[in-house]
Structure 1
């Protein structure tokens, strides 16, 4: 879809320039996920969650992202094998494909993992991860990429990083940490299986036409990293570098890493991976966008940072617009910045604040000699 304005870049062009740490015409915008149904109802009249067919759900997401003037869209998404069904324990609890136990909370409308398949060294020794090549796993990706062609946005598919997906699907952070200290071979085995799966999924997605690979690797709490910087450097950093190199060699337009929390002490390792971008730079965890830009802005594109814990859920539109302006001033100079939330647009955010954020991005994000 051409921009329709002489001198304006298309969304794809704008996003690619920013990922290359170049100044485009304006600051590009992106959200990893919008799970806020009222936003969809106001923008496109219906939410993907109410769609009866995957194609309709994808069209609603793409149309909403386009109307909000976003420049990249996440791919919906990596699926389970054809015919696979979870093992139901009760009306709220089931066993997922990797063997982890999930429980749905109607109060929060979210599903939480309450038990893991690996609890001991013996479990780790015998555990086998899921097959990336199972029939049907990428069916939705094929459909999404085809539908996305008319929307002029870069497509982004999420794969798992070594830490986040291991502790979400295989073993608790306590179990994995003990294995790292006492049975490092077994820790590497578990992490390696998860990373191997992610590599094969990412390569297949690139073959299907996906532009950008996002390695989701949450590694931080609000007061520091989930594991020590030493363990991160030893067990996780090499897997990030491996994934980035493989995806770029395969032809990905860019590779970005998603990581929440206070991760100053492991940020060097993430940047050294060679990733093109980092999302989401959590302000409530003490991550200062201006400091990150000063230290790393010439080496990695920064995505996000409008506070999703306080400003977007509870702030006035005026406060939201002011924070958008502050983010742009902190990180847009020289290129290499996408405006967005510090995680995702969740159900607790008023739609007006979402619209205010992106309208302010258009207003304050224009590049010119006197802008920043």
Structure 2
């Protein structure tokens, strides 16, 4: 049995989706409902969409279509997991939203960013993760620092 399904749907850029909400509703929403209905009939409860960019104006449509998890929540595009939690509560699961630029910067900016996002884990439904792939400009010691902050917060010794 599958634990979750991820739909790789890179359909947004920094200012919004590549298609209008109206077109999404007309052409994509019926497909999402059909797919997520089938997946749920097979016992798959977590259905995640992976899209970069700013998808704020179509989040309601994703949810209406049966999606209940979003990733990577790109900070540079204006996505904010704290605001999403305020709007959708725990019905929307989230992964990501740790700004990759603070990972490159390191130091207090990184600690502040990670601690801010870790707070979301207290109510569940959030996995701490960088908001995209770790880029080549991230020094190794910054990545180690990031992992250390997360491990310390969750009491992971090794």
The answer, yes or no, to whether TM exceeds 0.5 is yes
Kindly indicate whether residue 149 of structure 2 is the aligned counterpart of residue 360 of structure 1.
yes
String of CA shifts for 1:143-193, please: whole Å, max 9, x gaps. xxxxxxxxxxxxxxxxxxxxxxxxxxxxxxxxxxxxxxxxxxxxxxxxxxx
With over 3 angstroms needed to count, the CA separation of the structure-2 counterparts of 1:270 and 1:253, relative to structure 1, is: closer
1:291 to 83, 89, 103: 83
Larger Rg: 1
Task: Structure 1: give runs of 5+ residues left out of the alignment.
Answer: 1-208, 367-372
Equivalent residue, structure 2, for 1:350: 139
| Cα distance in structure 1, aligned partners of 2:132 and 2:107 | 19
String of CA shifts for 1:249-270, please: whole Å, max 9, x gaps. 2233522111211111111011
String of CA shifts for 1:58-85, please: whole Å, max 9, x gaps. xxxxxxxxxxxxxxxxxxxxxxxxxxxx
Kindly indicate whether residue 39 of structure 2 is the aligned counterpart of residue 247 of structure 1.
yes
Q: Which has the higher helix share?
A: 2
**What's the CA shift for 1:217?**
1.0
| TM-score (structure 2 length as normaliser) | 0.86
With over 3 angstroms needed to count, the CA separation of the structure-2 counterparts of 1:361 and 1:235, relative to structure 1, is: same
Kindly indicate whether residue 112 of structure 2 is the aligned counterpart of residue 322 of structure 1.
yes
**What's the CA shift for 1:346?**
3.4
Task: Structure 2: give runs of 5+ residues left out of the alignment.
Answer: none
With over 3 angstroms needed to count, the CA separation of the structure-2 counterparts of 1:224 and 1:355, relative to structure 1, is: same
Residues 52-131 of structure 1: matches in 2 within 5 Å? none
Contact 1:282 1:305 in 2 (8 A): yes
**Aligned pairs, how many?**
155
| TM-score (structure 1 length as normaliser) | 0.39
String of CA shifts for 1:21-58, please: whole Å, max 9, x gaps. xxxxxxxxxxxxxxxxxxxxxxxxxxxxxxxxxxxxxx
String of CA shifts for 1:195-253, please: whole Å, max 9, x gaps. xxxxxxxxxxxxxx543211111221101111111111111222222222222222335
| Cα distance in structure 1, aligned partners of 2:2 and 2:138 | 29
Residues 37-48 of structure 1: matches in 2 within 5 Å? none
| Cα distance in structure 2, aligned partners of 1:347 and 1:289 | 25
Contact 1:224 1:263 in 2 (8 A): yes
Contact 1:297 1:336 in 2 (8 A): no
